[in-house]
């Protein structure tokens, strides 16, 4: 692939019309995320329809725990994204190349570690979460197979973050479409034909992730420019690693702390039984479609802020935030309320006709009523976090998340929920924490932006 072919996938985010470029960047990202969720939904639907509610609950039981374990390392990919976007804005090719090779090497090392660690701790941690006896064996099986594929999962996360930093969101969409179709076919074959239930769903997921990772890795190897990956040059650059850790470690800790509160919430849900777990799983999967639509603007805010910061375009930095907040609020309100209004038919897709089907759907409705109607506030919170990270400030949103989200939810579980024990009360901790965090992030951004503006103006930028 020559330089002209490589460059057509890139977006210079620091010049030209901002509104249209943000949409050009975000739309493929939204479609990629929705496709990924559709394939994940296929996992859930195939498991629920053809293997039963227990299989659905088994997959659900692992999600918050998996996120808790991997989020620390996923945060490092955020560090790579911010660094490359900044270097791209500065046209610093050596910095880009060092970051690419360091990021890919970190993904390989962290993936190998997570594979071993996840398989060892699967059962003890699921038992600690009070996973019901009729669900735990399937949950352990799913989690161990999923973690066996962690090297390729981490590789895909890091390499796709590298492409996003220069505006390339189109090729990951194409690769994901191909891999996802294979995932659906394998799901149906393993579960319906071979009758291997949750194990089949997990194997199909790992195979599709392997294909995605290979295709993105291939794109970097064939790249003509600073993003080109040379296998023999793979090594960890100490200076680059420290810069990535400065941004990525707080981002990863934030994700981990976020997941701790979600694990506690999942444990509380588990105490209501497998029907509540299955209903919650279906609702969470539906929430994912709204979340990725909003969260895509988090990545947009992150990359666009990073490039403009690198170029010294402080006026465009402020516009990036305004546009991103508008987009994410619009998408969150539109999709959230649409899903809420269609909650019964949507939830029924996930559950086969069992004696307790109405009970399972009823549990899902409880969650959707609380979450979907207020979900746009989660989007605004994430966009502000992306803007702060793009400006090189990652510790501030981590502290805010620790206090406003994790702290509030944990406190809620041990006080309000303990006193008024119902799922409605439990789920209320979500919107309350999003709103509080959004307010704190707004104040933080105003302070950070004013400092950055003064810094750039003093340099004559």
Q: Specify the pLDDT at position 210.
A: 93
33 occurs within a structural domain? yes
Confidence of residue 53 (pLDDT cuts 50, 70, 90): low
Residues, the chain:
461
By residue range, what is the domain housing residue 133? 14-458
Q: What is the mean pLDDT of residues 72-93?
A: 86
Task: Please tell me the distance from the alpha carbon of residue 121 to that of residue 63, in angstroms, as a whole number.
Answer: 14
Give the residue, 446 or 191, on which the prediction is more confident.
Answer: 446
In this prediction, residue 139 carries a pLDDT of 83
> Which of 452-459's residues contact partners 24+ apart within 8 Å by CB, and which partners?
452/309, 452/314, 452/317, 452/391, 453/314, 456/312, 456/314, 457/314, 459/312
Mean pLDDT of 260-289: 85
* pLDDT > 70 fraction of the chain, expressed in percent and rounded: 94
pLDDT value at residue 330: 96
Which of 79-83, 135-139, 325-329 has the highest average model confidence (pLDDT)? 325-329
193 lies in some domain: yes
In a domain, 3, yes or no: no
CA 89 – CA 101 distance, rounded (Å): 19
Mean pLDDT of the chain: 87
Question: What pLDDT is stored for residue 50 in this prediction?
Answer: 67
pLDDT tens-digit series, residues 140-180: 888 899 899 999 999 998 999 899 888 888 888 888 888 88
Residue 1, domain member (yes or no): no
Per-residue exposure over 49-69, b if at least 16 CB sit within 10 Å of its own CB, e if not: bbbbbbbbbbbbbbbbbbbbb
Q: Residue 113 above 80 pLDDT?
A: yes
DSSP label at 461?
-
Q: What is the pLDDT of residues 293-343, one digit of tens each?
A: 999 999 899 989 989 998 888 889 999 999 999 999 999 999 999 999 999
Question: Across 7-11, 172-176, 370-374, 397-401, which has the greatest mean pLDDT?
Answer: 370-374
The candidate with the shortest Cα–Cα distance to 409, out of 419, 420, 401, is 401
User: Is 5 within the bounds of a domain?
Assistant: no
**What's the pLDDT score for residue 460?**
58
User: Is 7 domain-assigned?
Assistant: no
pLDDT on residue 199: 85
Total structural domains in the chain? 1
**Which of these ranges, 46-50, 379-383, 393-397, has the smallest mean pLDDT?**
46-50
461 pLDDT higher than 70:
no
How many helices (H) and strands (E) in the chain? 19, 0
147 lies in some domain? yes
The whole-number pLDDT of residue 346 equals 92
pLDDT given at position 107: 93
pLDDT higher than threshold 70 for residue 56? no
Task: Determine, yes or no, domain membership for 9.
Answer: no
Backbone angles phi, psi at 169, to 5 degrees: -110, -5
Average pLDDT for residues 215-224, to the nearest whole number? 91
Highest mean pLDDT among 231-235, 347-351, 381-385: 381-385
Rounded mean pLDDT of 397-413? Answer: 88
Question: Among the listed ranges 62-71, 166-175, 385-394, which one has the minimum average pLDDT value?
Answer: 62-71
> Which pLDDT does position 11 carry in this prediction?
84
Task: Give residue 60's pLDDT band: very low, low, confident or very high (50, 70, 90).
Answer: low
Q: What is the average pLDDT across 438-451?
A: 94
pTM > 0.75: yes or no: yes
Query: In the structure encoding, which two tokens stand for residue 199, read together?
Result: 């194990």
pLDDT exceeds 80 at position 257: no
CA distance 198 to 367: 24
């Amino acid at each position: 692939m020559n330089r002209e072919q490589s460059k057509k996938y890139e977006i210079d985010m620091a010049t030209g019309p901002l509104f249209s470029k943000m949409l050009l960047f975000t739309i493929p990202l939204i479609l990629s995320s929705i496709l990924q969720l559709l394939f994940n939904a296929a996992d859930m639907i195939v498991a629920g329809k053809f293997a039963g509610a227990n299989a659905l609950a088994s997959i659900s039981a692992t999600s918050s725990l998996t996120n808790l374990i991997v989020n620390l390392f996923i945060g490092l990919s955020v560090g790579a994204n911010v660094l490359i976007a900044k270097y791209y804005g500065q046209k610093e090719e050596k910095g880009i190349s060092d970051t690419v090779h360091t990021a890919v090497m970190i993904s390989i090392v962290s993936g190998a570690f997570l594979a071993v660690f996840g398989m060892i701790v699967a059962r003890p941690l699921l038992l600690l979460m009070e996973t019901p006896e009729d669900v735990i064996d399937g949950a352990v099986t799913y989690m161990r197979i999923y973690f066996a594929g962690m090297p390729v999962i981490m590789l895909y996360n890091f390499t796709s973050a590298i492409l996003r930093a220069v505006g390339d969101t189109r090729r990951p969409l194409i690769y994901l479409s191909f891999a996802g179709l294979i995932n659906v076919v394998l799901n149906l074959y393993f579960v319906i034909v071979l009758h291997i239930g949750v194990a089949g769903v997990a194997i199909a997921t790992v195979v599709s992730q392997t294909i995605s990772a290979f295709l993105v890795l291939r794109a970097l190897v064939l790249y003509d420019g600073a993003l080109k990956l040379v296998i023999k040059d793979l090594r960890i650059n100490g200076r680059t690693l420290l810069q990535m850790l400065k941004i990525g470690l707080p981002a990863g800790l934030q994700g981990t702390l976020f997941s701790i509160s979600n694990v506690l919430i999942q444990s509380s849900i588990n105490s209501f039984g497998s029907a509540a777990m299955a209903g919650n799983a279906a609702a969470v999967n539906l929430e994912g479609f709204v979340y990725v639509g909003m969260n895509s603007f988090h990545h947009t805010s992150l990359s666009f802020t990073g490039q403009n910061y690198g170029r010294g375009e402080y006026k465009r930095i402020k516009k990036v935030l305004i546009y991103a907040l508008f987009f994410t609020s619009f998408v969150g309100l539109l999709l959230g309320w649409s899903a809420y209004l269609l909650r019964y038919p949507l939830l029924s897709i996930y559950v086969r006709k069992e004696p307790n089907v109405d009970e399972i759907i009823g549990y899902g409705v409880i969650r959707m009523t609380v979450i979907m109607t207020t979900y746009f506030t989660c989007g605004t919170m994430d966009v502000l976090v992306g803007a702060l990270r793009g400006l090189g400030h990652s510790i501030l949103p981590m502290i805010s998340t620790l206090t406003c989200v994790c702290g509030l939810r944990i406190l809620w579980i041990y006080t309000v929920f303990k006193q008024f024990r119902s799922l409605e009360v439990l789920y209320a901790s979500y919107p309350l924490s999003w709103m509080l965090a959004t307010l704190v992030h707004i104040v933080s951004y105003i302070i950070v932006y004013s400092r950055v503006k003064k810094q750039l103006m003093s340099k004559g930028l």
